[in-house]
Structure 1
Amino acid sequence: MTAGTLTGRGPAEDAGPAELGRARRAVAEAAERAASVVEALPVPAERSAPQRAVAAAAHAEARRVRGEFLGRHTVAVYSELTAQRTRPLSVAALCAAAATAFPGLVPGPAAVAADRARPQAAKEGWEIDQGVFVSAVLRHPDEGRHLLESMLRPTPRAQRMFEDYRRAGEADLGSVRLARRDGVAHLTICREDCLNAEDERQIDDMEVAVDLALLDPAVEVIVLRGGAMTHPRYTGKRVFSSGINLKALHAGTIGLVDFLLRREMGYVAKLTRGLRGDAGWWERPGGKPWLAVVDGFAIGGGCQLLLVADHVIAASDAYLSLPAAQEGIVPGAANLRLTRHGGARLARQVILLGRRLRVIEPDARLFVDEVYDAGEELDRAVGACADRLRGDAVAANRRMIVEAEEPLDAFRAYLAEFALEQARRIYSPDVLGKVGRFVAAA
C-alpha cells in the first residue's frame, strides 16, 4: 500500500458491484487466514521471538490485502456505510459499522474487547487496522471532509444534558466542571489525582463540556483553566495539563479511536471550528473565542491546546513542553501547527529534542500572549482578557483566521498521515519500553 493508491478517485474507484463483492470476500478470507494463525499461537505476551515473527507475517499479509482493497474501494465503502454521505457517523461508529458490513476490514468487537483487556505491551495490535481504514477515508477529500464534519456534531451525552445545564448555568462532568458567569463559560479541568493528565474519561468529559458551552446562546467566550491539585508537590496549586496519562497508556486504556483520533477530531477541533449540525453550509456557526489560562505547566496535549487558543495568558513561573518524541508518539496536530506558528527550527527543537520553554523566554511568545505573576494578578487578568474577546465581530474574524491559517483540507490531509503513523507508533517496541520506564519512575 502506498500513499498514491489512496489519493484521488481515478479509474481505480470506478469498480462495479461485482468487483466490490469479490474484493470484499477476499478481505474477509485474508482476515480469517490471519486470525487462524494468531489464534493458534499463545497470547501475545507469552509468544517466543519466532512466534512473534509468525504473527507479524500473518498480520502483514492481511494488511496488504486490506491496503489494496482500500486503494480501490474506499469511496464505495464510505458511501455504503454513510448512505452516500447523508448519514453522519463518528469515527468510532464508522469503524464499528465497517466491522459489520465489511468483515475483516477492521477488527470486530470481540477482537477489540480482547485487546482492550490487556496492557499495551500485551495487545495483538488490531487498532493498527483501524488506523489504516481511517487514514484511507481521510485521504479522499469528500469522504474525509464528511467524516470531519460528522465529528463536529454535538455528542448525544451533551444533547441529553443541555437543558439541565442551560437552566442551572453549571455542570459537573466528573473530570471537568463547567460554569457560566456573565456570558463566559469557565471550563475547569479537575483531575486532581493525576495533574490533569488526559485519559479517555477526560476526553469524553471535555468534549461534552465544550459542546455545552458552544450550544449555549448565553455564552460569548470560553475560558479553559486547570483546577487546584491534591498531588503532594502541588497541593492547593492550579496546573493546566500534564499531557497524556502514561499510566493509562501503559495499562492499554488509551485507544487509537476513542482517545488519539477522537481528541483531535472531537473537542480540539470543536474549540477550533465550532459545532456542526443540520444547518446549511451558509448558516453554520464558526465557534466561539476562547482563552487558555496556564498555571504551572502545559505539557504534551496541554501545550497542543495553546496552538489553537485565540488568546493565552500564563503565570510567570509556568513552562511548556511537547515531550512526545521522548515518549515515542506523535503529539497530535502539533507538528502541523507549531511548524506554522514558529517555523521548522523551533518545531524540531521542541518536538524532536524535547526543548522545554519557560513562558518568560522570547520563543514562548509563540505560544503565550501575556504573562502575569501567579495568584491574584493572573486571576484578575482572566476577566479582562475574556472581556476583550467578546463581540460578534471578534467571533466572525476568528472564524476567518482559522480558515486562513488551517483550511479544513490541510487538517484532513495531516490527519490522514497521523492516523496511520500514530497507529504504528503506539505498538512500536520503543514506545512500549519507554512508557513502561516512565510509569515505573512515577
Structure 2
Amino acid sequence: MTGPARRVVADAAGRAAEILGGLPEPALRTPEERSAAAEAHAAARRVRGVFLERHAAAVYAELTGDLSRPLGLAELCAAAAEACPGLVPGPEQLAADRARPQAAKEGWEVDQGLFAAAVLRGPREGLHLLEAMRRPTPRALAAQDAYRSAGEADLGSVRLERREGIAHLTMCREDCLNAEDERQVDDMETAVDLALLDPAVEALVVRGGKMTHPRYRGRRVFSAGINLKALHAGRIGLVDFLLRREMGYIAKLNRGLSDGGGWWERPGGKPWLAVVDGFAIGGGCQLLLAADHVIAGADAYLSLPAAQEGIVPGAANLRLTRHGGARLARQVILLGRRIRVIEPDARLFVDEVHDPEEELDAAVPGCADRLRGEAVAANRRMLVEAEEPPDAFRAYLAEFALQQARRIYSPDVLGKVGRFAAAT
C-alpha cells in the first residue's frame, strides 16, 4: 500500500544526500553552503512529513506486527530505517553525527523527532509506544537477582539500597553536581526498574549524594539539570536522552512498569519521595513535578532555565501549570524565575521545608514511611490518572518530540552550548 509513497521518500532523501555529499563537513561550510544544506534537508523533510501524515499508522503496524510486538523508540527508529529507506537516518549517518560536537552535526536526529512525533500523534500507536517504553530494561532484568539478594546495587552514577521496605536511590555524579547525561539516564532507569520490580519495596526515596565538585565538596546536591558539557560535545541524544528520559524512568516513576499483562493486572507504580539538597535545576526541578511528596533543606532553590538554555524542559510545561497555575509557569519557564524554597510560591513544589543541618536527614524516614501501604499506592495511581491521563501525556510528547528536535539544532542553542559548557 505504501510502496510508491516509500519510493517518493527514498528519492527525496537521495536528492538531499547528493547535495549534502557535495558540500564540506558541516563545521567547514560557508554561510551559502549552510543555506544550501538547510534547504536540502527542508525539501526532504517536507516529503517525509506528508508521508508520515498519511502512512505513520501503517508503518508502525508493519514494524510492530500490528502492535503485537513492543519496540522501544530506539529499536523502532532502527527498524524504520531498514524498512523505509530515507524516512529516518540510518546507522552510518547517526554514527557520523555522534562523533561530532553539537554545533558541527548534520542534524539527522531531527528526522527521528519527526518520525517519533508522527507515531505519538496516533492515539493507538502512541499509547502502544509509551507502554513499550515502560517495560523493564534488559540491564535491570539481568541485575535483579543479585540486587534482591544483596539489597543494594551500585550502578555507577546511581546507588540503590533497600532499607526496611524503602528503596533509596542516590544520584552520585559527584564531579558534576548530578548533571544528567545519557549514562545517568540509563543508570536511573535501571535503578527505578529494580526498585519497582522488587516485591519487598513499598516506596522509593530519590536524593542526591555528597559532591566532590570544588564548589560543593562534601555537600549533598539534588541535580544541576542537563549536563551542558555533554550537550556541547554532542553526547546528548534526542532518542537516547531527551525522549528516553521522559518516556522511560520518569514515566515509570509516574505510572509504573508495563509488563505486557492485560490492563486489569498492570501495576500502577509505587509512591516516591524527593529530597532536595542545595538545588533542583532544570531536569531536577522536572522530577519534583512528578514526585508524590517533596521535602527540602531551607537553603535550597528551584529553577527551570529553559529560556537561557534554549530547549524545552521536558514535561514541565505540561505539569507546572497544574502545580502552580499559568502565571507562575510562565514566570519560571519563559522568564527564568528562580524560587527559593522558603518563598510562599515554593509550597506549590515542595511539601515540607527543614533545616538542612539539623532536621532534613531526620525527616526522611518518617516521610517515606507515610507513603507506605497498599491503599496509598492505589490512591496515588488514581491521582495520576486524574491529573495526567495517558492520552494527554501522549499528545504532549508528540509535540515535544518535534519541538525539542528543532531546538537542539537551532542556531541560538548551538551558539549557547559552548558558552554554558565553559562556564560550568
TM-score (norm 2): 0.99
What are the Cα deviations for residues 25-77 of structure 1, in whole angstroms up to 9, with x where unaligned?
11111111101110110000000011111111111110011011001101100
Other-structure match for 2:55:
73
Q: Does 1:246 align with 2:228?
A: yes
The residue that corresponds to 1:412 in the other structure is 394
Q: Which residue of 1 aligns with 2:337?
A: 355
Q: CA RMSD in A?
A: 0.6
Q: Letter of the aligned partner of 1:417 in structure 2?
A: E
Per the alignment, residue 300 of structure 2 pairs with 318
User: Which of 86, 89, 98 matches 1:104?
Assistant: 86
1:287 aligns with 2:272: no
Alpha-carbon offset, residue 278 of structure 1? 2.0
Q: Deviations over 1:291-335 (max 9, x none)?
A: 000000000000000001000000000000000111000000000
Q: How far is 1:240 from its partner?
A: 0.1
Report whether the alignment pairs 1:58 with 2:51.
no
Question: Counterparts of 2:303 and 2:32 in 1: how far apart (Å)?
Answer: 40
Letter of the structure 2 residue corresponding to residue 398 of structure 1: R
| Cα distance in 2, alignment partners of residues 69 and 405 from structure 1 | 34
Q: What's 2:134 paired with?
A: 152
Instruction: Please tell me the residue identity of whatever aligns with 1:304.
Output: Q
Shift of 1:440: 2.2
| Match of residue 365 from structure 1 | 347
Please give the per-residue CA displacement for 1:60-110, whole angstroms capped at 9, x wherever unaligned. 110011011001101100000000001001111110110011110000000
Q: Which letter does structure 2 place at the counterpart of 1:36?
A: E
Q: CA deviation at 1:433?
A: 1.0
Q: Which amino acid aligns with 2:305?
A: P
Which of 283, 286, 297 in structure 2 is aligned with 1:301?
283
Residue 341 of structure 1: how far off its partner (Å): 1.2
In structure 1, the partner of 2:161 is 179
Aligned to 1:232: 214
Unaligned runs of 5+ in 1: 1-16
For 2:350 and 2:331, how far apart are their aligned partners in 1? 17
Q: 2:37 & 2:420 partners in 1: Cα distance?
A: 28
The DSSP-based 3-state class of the residue aligned with 2:214 is: coil
Aligned residue in 2 for 1:130: 112
Unaligned runs of 5+ in 2: none
Secondary structure of the structure 2 residue equivalent to 1:283: coil
The structure 1 residue matched to 2:183, chosen from 201, 213, 223, is 201
1:92 counterpart residue number: 74
Counterparts of 2:403 and 2:160, CA distance in 1:
34
Equivalent residue, structure 1, for 2:195:
213
The residue type paired with residue 306 of structure 1 is L
Write the letter of the residue equivalent to 2:187. D
**Amino acid aligned to 2:331:** Q
The match for 2:357 is: 375
Match in the other structure for 2:413:
431
CA distance in 1, matches of 2:412, 2:297: 35
Question: How far does residue 441 in structure 1 lie from its aligned partner after superposition?
Answer: 2.3
Could you tell me which amino acid in structure 1 is paired with residue 282 of structure 2?
G
Runs of 4+ aligned residues of structure 1 deviating over 2 Å after TM superposition are: none
